[in-house]
């Protein structure tokens, strides 16, 4: 794996997608998804100037983060169980995967206990895939007032995982729908939302063209993840 070359290539592709969409490259933040990668790889990425990292499992993050440079910032991008909310609040700057009021209430409780506010994104299952977590759009709009009433959570935007496809153009409507949904949420909240976290290694350019502010890239930077068996019944993550 040539991380420096991959990073340069990714930066070029981000810049080109921004150019096509008439956006500033600085309006897109690259989040390096380091799940499955050891601390040495994170350190190498940090040495190349990456500062924002994502993990999808609290347990893996707790073991890894203390072995990585302390200046790095970490986002949780994978499904969070309520019984891990306390650790999530301890280890992550932002939680991108809030997908129920019950989870949000538990995060509120743990944030209160930790005397901090927690920036969150609300995860939306735009395509309604059974294998994925996230709010259905109607359900999100219904719960938005209750979510917004939790004083220790700051709703910063929306996150989605598009269905896997070899043809990223096919998932453009998913990204567009998330952007429209963000506008609907902003109208209901009467306040702007900063982030649209959408786009992974296979589809980030289309996501940027549709307004992504955070792209979450794993394999495009680090190459294929070391193979590990997923727990039985776990949704497949790409």
Chain contacts with ligand PLP (rule: CB under 6 A): 33, 35, 56, 77-78, 161, 200-202, 216-220, 237-238
Q: Which of residues 152 and 222 has its CB atom nearest to ligand PLP in the complex?
A: 222
Q: Which of residues 88 and 152 has its CB atom nearest to ligand PLP in the complex?
A: 88
Cβ of residue 125: shortest distance to ligand PLP, in angstroms?
12
Record the tokens describing residue 62, joined without a space. Answer: 């707790």
Cβ of residue 61: shortest distance to ligand PLP, in angstroms?
12
Q: Round to whole Å and give the CA distance between 224 and 37.
A: 10
Q: Which of residues 78 and 157 has its CB atom nearest to ligand PLP in the complex?
A: 78
The vertex-91 CA angle with 204 and 104, nearest 5°, equals: 75
Query: How would you classify residue 158: left for phi > 0, otherwise alpha for psi between -120 and 50, otherwise beta?
Result: beta
Cβ of residue 47: shortest distance to ligand PLP, in angstroms?
20
Q: CB neighbours of 8 closer than 8 A, spacing ≥ 6?
A: none
Cβ of residue 115: shortest distance to ligand PLP, in angstroms?
28
Q: Which of residues 107 and 152 has its CB atom nearest to ligand PLP in the complex?
A: 107
Q: Round to whole Å and give the CA distance between 77 and 93.
A: 11
In this structure, how many other beta carbons lie within 10 angstroms of the beta carbon of residue 94? 24
Question: Which residue's CB atom is positioned nearest to ligand PLP?
Answer: 218
């Amino acid at each position: 794996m040539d991380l420096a070359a991959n990073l340069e290539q990714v930066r070029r592709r981000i810049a080109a997608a921004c150019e096509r969409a008439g956006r500033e490259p600085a309006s897109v933040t690259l989040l390096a998804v380091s799940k499955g990668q050891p601390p040495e790889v994170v350190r190498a990425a940090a040495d190349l100037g990456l500062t924002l990292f994502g993990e999808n499992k609290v347990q893996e993050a707790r073991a890894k983060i203390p072995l990585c440079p302390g200046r790095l910032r970490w986002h949780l991008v994978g499904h969070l169980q309520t019984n891990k909310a306390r650790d999530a609040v301890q280890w992550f700057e932002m939680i991108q995967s809030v997908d129920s009021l019950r989870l949000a209430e538990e995060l509120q409780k743990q944030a209160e206990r930790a005397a901090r506010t927690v920036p969150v994104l609300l995860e939306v299952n735009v395509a309604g895939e059974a294998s994925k977590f996230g709010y259905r759009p109607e359900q999100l709009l219904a719960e938005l007032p209750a979510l917004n009433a939790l004083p220790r959570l700051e709703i910063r935007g929306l996150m989605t995982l598009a269905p896997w496809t070899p043809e990223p153009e096919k998932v453009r409507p998913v990204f567009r729908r998330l952007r429209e949904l963000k506008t609907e949420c902003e109208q209901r909240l009467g306040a702007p939302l900063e982030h649209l976290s959408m786009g992974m290694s296979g589809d980030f350019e289309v996501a940027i063209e549709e307004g992504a502010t955070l792209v979450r890239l794993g394999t495009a930077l680090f190459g294929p993840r070391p193979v590990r068996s997923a727990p039985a019944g776990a949704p497949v993550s790409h």
